[in-house]
Structure 1
Amino acid sequence: MAQEAIKLRVERRLAAILAADVVGYSRLMGADEEGTLAQLKAHRRELIDPKIREHRGRIVKTTGDGMLVEFVSPVEAVRCAVEIQRGMVTRNSDVPRDKRITFRVGINLGDVIAERGDLFGDGVNVAARLETLAEPGGVAISRMVRDSIRDRLPLTFADAGEHGVKNIARPVRVYALTAAAVEALPEMQLLQSSQGIRHRRIAGIPVMAIAALANLIIVAGGFWWLRASDVPPSQAFVSAIAQKAGPAALMTAVAPSVALAKLAEHTAPRMSIVVLPFTNLSGDPNLEYFADGFTDDLTTDLSRISGSFVIARTTASTYKGKATLSANEIASELGVRYVLEGGIQKAANHIRVNAQLIDGETGAHLWAERYDRDSADFLQLQDEITNQIANALNLTLIQSESDRSWRDHPSNPDAVDFTLRGNALITQNPDPKMCVDARRLFEKAIELDPKNVDAFVGLAWTYADEWGEGWNSGIDDFEMRKRIDSALTSALAINPGSAFAYHVKSEAFAYDDSRNWRGELVKAIDAAEVALALNPNRATTHAWLGRLYAKVGHPERTAPLIEQAMRLSPRDPNIRSWLYMLGMSQL
């Protein structure tokens, strides 16, 4: 009975773990015990603890010469670590070299076990190992952390190779920021990826022009901008924009797709890919949802490739049925190197898939395969295709606690089918009836397979949509929040690395914002940061997090997030609202 009680108190979660240690602590204490302790206490009181609070960290435990700190967001963990290390450079400037206190810092993002306020597990062990590999005065991070902060922070972490970790089978890829790089940073700079409003240009258009346009829209009541329709604005509205904001803003207002096409002019990342909608070869239009679901899951799975840049589903879907465009033309429009296309046929309990990977520059077919599988192997088939693409491009799949190991259990093909049907409904601008219909499908999926993570997240999503849109007639706020929390808790208990679960969790916190404005928005930001850490290729999460930062008074963090959303999904139906947010962040 006692063992059962202890088991109930154990909680697993994903966290960014920072481990720090004083270099040469024994030597310092041996030379001047009282002076060393006094210095260490002053550093904690005046620099370290305030920085941890500022970046919403929690000190898990301290030792005489080190500490373990938990952060919800890897971005905040790295910001905190680098700002502390930069602060120590200043504080040590007048201290004799042999008396200086210098830290090593390691940061990992991984699964941890929380029990009675302490943390255990591989996520902690890897952070501790990274700390020993860091240069004195520097910071070492894991690949999961590096992928989370890339394009988010103006820091250059060098690849330090793979290193073994005790009791962990796979080696860990380490990235290091040297002490010299830390020292070269401006003193106590707030780390952000923007370089100042005055010098920024978005898709070739000055941001201040977009800001002027946003201001004009507010004054003129130009709500056309916020709709994802193709209906053009009135001539009077166009003329007003031309006079007030100039030709660049006019181009953006009248034809945002023209301005956004400039995003494709960037040099394509090495692993940049678009998954075109797989063709439904079944001859039954009612099975379109199955082909679309397969495409969506493949898009998500390709994000597991380290360093990948995967165009969002919402943009890829705009090419559905456009056979006249070649793979080269699509790759050029989107600024990617590779195009994955294919078809899928479903009959009874059998699936046949044709897939081919095309070089977007040469049009060469790099890899092609046909698969014949039982319906029960649906998820494993997606993994197999993802692995073969990675092998074809000589890339490495991310292997960590956040990968989809929850798939190892036998899946029920009918449960998978119900989940795909539910997702097909909830992704198409749902109305109250669609929400209810999708919920029933997700509930059926859970009845058949109680370990179906996607079904639990989909269920939470239906409630979050109802709550956010004000459709929850007959269900009070407390009960609605309870249902969302229950579904997400179930999903994350099965797979702590579900990026979409954290995205939905963030939206739920934001909707709860009307009752606890500041506190709930901070939680919403934390959850969205985790979602981005788990899947840096989700355009809607970038845009959502940008919106949240703008709402809490950090517009300088909004612009780079919106830019990345537009880069990942340049033909997104929400592109006008994203541009609006981008402009508003600069006012």
Structure 2
Amino acid sequence: MSASVRRKLTTILAADADGYSRAMEADEVRAMAALQAARRVFAGLIERHHGRIANTAGDGLIAEFGSVVEAVQCAIEVQRELGADPDSALRFRIGVHLGDVMIDGDDLLGEGVNLAARLQAMAEPGGILISQQVYDQVQKKLSVGFEYLGERKPKNFEESVAVYGVTPPGAAPAKPAKGRSHQARAARPAARTAGAGELKPRIMRLLRVFGAIVAVLFAIDLATGGPMWAHWVALILATIAAYRAAPLMARGWLSVSDARLLVIIALLALINAFSWSGELWAIWPAAAIVLIALLGRLLARG
């Protein structure tokens, strides 16, 4: 490392235009004008939130902020302002990460920058993804929603990372609800989805409660004699717990939706086993579920 390179902990915002090459092919003048307009929006809001632009290569940019809250708030305002222009030819993806970086002159380098860029690449056009480190700092400080998307394995990273989506509050209705002011509605924080750190204890408590219920039911079942029935209740409760725990199962190759589909398929297989009559019928609805999921992904990509 050269003497001019130093390290520091900072918040990195990475942004990139979606479909810029296609927009250039369709209309170079319009695409360039849209990019320049977007850069002005980024520059103004980054400065307002006390950040600085470190790099503007191509149709993307890297910025840094001394405050995690300011970085996420800036990202929200950028997407809001860019999304308000229906004539814009470009939509941007944004990723935000808090990490250690190397500074060489005005440039930011290192794994922290790379992770912010990977989060950006995973975001939907017009969307914002943040890392666990950012979520931990902003979850109670911003009136927005956060959706835990599970653990993802960014390209060229050895380990998976927890990823959260940011959901800005929706636009307030033109007329406030009866008995409530516009200001009160706008100020109410949006509901937040529990993150991995919050979800795991909840699932463990749920399992303890369900376990106690199942134990009592099996005791009643055995005491009363007759055909066994408690295993059906146990199956229902186990399915509920597994479905709610799907975000904890998510990995780079397995999304939360995929995990929930696997729970449903497992439920079908267990119902088939518990009611076995010599026929493996669960394979057909399971195959249909997989086929529908694959078709949905293909249509979404198209």
Q: CA deviation at 1:88?
A: 1.1
**What is the CA deviation profile of residues 224-281 of structure 1, one whole-angstrom value per residue up to 9, with x for unaligned ones?**
xxxxxxxxxxxxxxxxxxxxxxxxxxxxxxxxxxxxxxxxxxxxxx99xxxxxxxxxx
Q: Distance in 2 between matches of 1:22 and 1:84?
A: 13
Name the residue aligned to 2:78: 84
Q: Distance in 1 between matches of 2:144 and 2:169?
A: 12
Q: CA deviation at 1:117?
A: 1.4
- Asked if 1:60 is matched to 2:54, the reply is yes
Q: How has the CA–CA distance of structure 1 residues 169 and 184 changed in structure 2, closer, same or farther, with 3 Å as cutoff?
A: same
Q: Distance in 1 between matches of 2:155 and 2:68?
A: 23
Q: Distance in 1 between matches of 2:120 and 2:19?
A: 14
Q: Distance in 2 between matches of 1:82 and 1:15?
A: 19
Q: Distance in 2 between matches of 1:108 and 1:17?
A: 5
Name the residue aligned to 1:40: 35
**What is the CA deviation profile of residues 283-342 of structure 1, one whole-angstrom value per residue up to 9, with x for unaligned ones?**
xxxxxxxxxxxxxxxxxxxxxx9459xxxxxxxxxxxxxxxxxxxxxxxxxxxxxxxxxx
Name the residue aligned to 1:153: 142
Name the residue aligned to 2:2: 7
Partner of 1:63, secondary structure, is coil
Count of matched residue pairs: 188
Letter in 1 for 2:160: P
Equivalent position to 1:113, from 91, 102, 117: 102
Partner of 1:153, secondary structure, is coil
Q: How has the CA–CA distance of structure 1 residues 306 and 36 changed in structure 2, closer, same or farther, with 3 Å as cutoff?
A: same
Q: How has the CA–CA distance of structure 1 residues 8 and 66 changed in structure 2, closer, same or farther, with 3 Å as cutoff?
A: same
Q: Distance in 2 between matches of 1:89 and 1:166?
A: 28
Q: Distance in 1 between matches of 2:159 and 2:172?
A: 37
Q: CA deviation at 1:186?
A: 5.2
Partner of 1:75, secondary structure, is helix
Q: How has the CA–CA distance of structure 1 residues 115 and 307 changed in structure 2, closer, same or farther, with 3 Å as cutoff?
A: farther
Q: How has the CA–CA distance of structure 1 residues 186 and 123 changed in structure 2, closer, same or farther, with 3 Å as cutoff?
A: farther
Native 8 Å contact 2:11 2:65 kept in 1: yes
* Counterparts of residues 4-403 of structure 1 (less than 5 Å): 7-45=2-40, 47-91=41-85, 93=86, 95=87, 100-177=89-166, 181-182=167-168, 184-185=170-171, 306-307=197-198
Partner of 1:67, secondary structure, is strand
Q: Distance in 1 between matches of 2:28 and 2:58?
A: 12
Q: CA deviation at 1:48?
A: 1.8
Letter in 2 for 1:184: G
Letter in 2 for 1:16: T
Q: How has the CA–CA distance of structure 1 residues 120 and 307 changed in structure 2, closer, same or farther, with 3 Å as cutoff?
A: farther
Q: How has the CA–CA distance of structure 1 residues 11 and 307 changed in structure 2, closer, same or farther, with 3 Å as cutoff?
A: farther
Partner of 1:135, secondary structure, is coil
Report sequence identity in percent: 42
| TM-score, normalising length: structure 2 | 0.56
* Counterparts of residues 492-507 of structure 1 (less than 5 Å): none
**What is the CA deviation profile of residues 366-423 of structure 1, one whole-angstrom value per residue up to 9, with x for unaligned ones?**
xxxxxxxxxxxxxxxxxxxxxxxxxxxxxx9xxxxxxxxxxxxxxxxxxxxxxxxxxx
**What is the CA deviation profile of residues 45-104 of structure 1, one whole-angstrom value per residue up to 9, with x for unaligned ones?**
2x221101000111000122110011111110100000010111212x2x2xxx621000
Native 8 Å contact 2:30 2:89 kept in 1: no
**What is the CA deviation profile of residues 170-229 of structure 1, one whole-angstrom value per residue up to 9, with x for unaligned ones?**
21110013xxx4482459xxxxxxx979x99xxxxxxxxxxxxxxxxxxxxxxxxxxxxx
Q: How has the CA–CA distance of structure 1 residues 186 and 68 changed in structure 2, closer, same or farther, with 3 Å as cutoff?
A: farther
Name the residue aligned to 1:491: none
Q: CA deviation at 1:149?
A: 0.5
Q: Distance in 2 between matches of 1:72 and 1:108?
A: 12
Partner of 1:103, secondary structure, is strand
Q: Distance in 2 between matches of 1:124 and 1:9?
A: 18
Q: How has the CA–CA distance of structure 1 residues 156 and 29 changed in structure 2, closer, same or farther, with 3 Å as cutoff?
A: same
Native 8 Å contact 1:60 1:67 kept in 2: yes
Native 8 Å contact 2:18 2:92 kept in 1: yes
Q: CA deviation at 1:18?
A: 0.5
Partner of 1:7, secondary structure, is coil
Q: CA deviation at 1:169?
A: 2.8
Q: Over aligned residue pairs, what C-alpha RMSD do you find?
A: 3.2
Q: Distance in 1 between matches of 2:56 and 2:9?
A: 21
Partner of 1:38, secondary structure, is helix
Native 8 Å contact 1:108 1:126 kept in 2: yes
Q: How has the CA–CA distance of structure 1 residues 38 and 64 changed in structure 2, closer, same or farther, with 3 Å as cutoff?
A: same
Letter in 2 for 1:76: E
Letter in 2 for 1:29: M
Letter in 2 for 1:73: S
Runs of 5+ consecutive residues of structure 1 not aligned to the other structure: 1-5, 188-194, 201-269, 272-304, 309-395, 397-587
Q: Distance in 1 between matches of 2:21 and 2:169?
A: 25
Native 8 Å contact 2:93 2:123 kept in 1: yes
Letter in 1 for 2:129: A
Native 8 Å contact 1:86 1:183 kept in 2: no
* Counterparts of residues 468-507 of structure 1 (less than 5 Å): none
Native 8 Å contact 2:145 2:169 kept in 1: no
Q: CA deviation at 1:161?
A: 1.1
Q: Distance in 1 between matches of 2:61 and 2:123?
A: 15
Q: Distance in 1 between matches of 2:92 and 2:169?
A: 13
Partner of 1:140, secondary structure, is strand
Partner of 1:136, secondary structure, is coil
Native 8 Å contact 2:145 2:168 kept in 1: no
Q: Distance in 2 between matches of 1:54 and 1:151?
A: 22
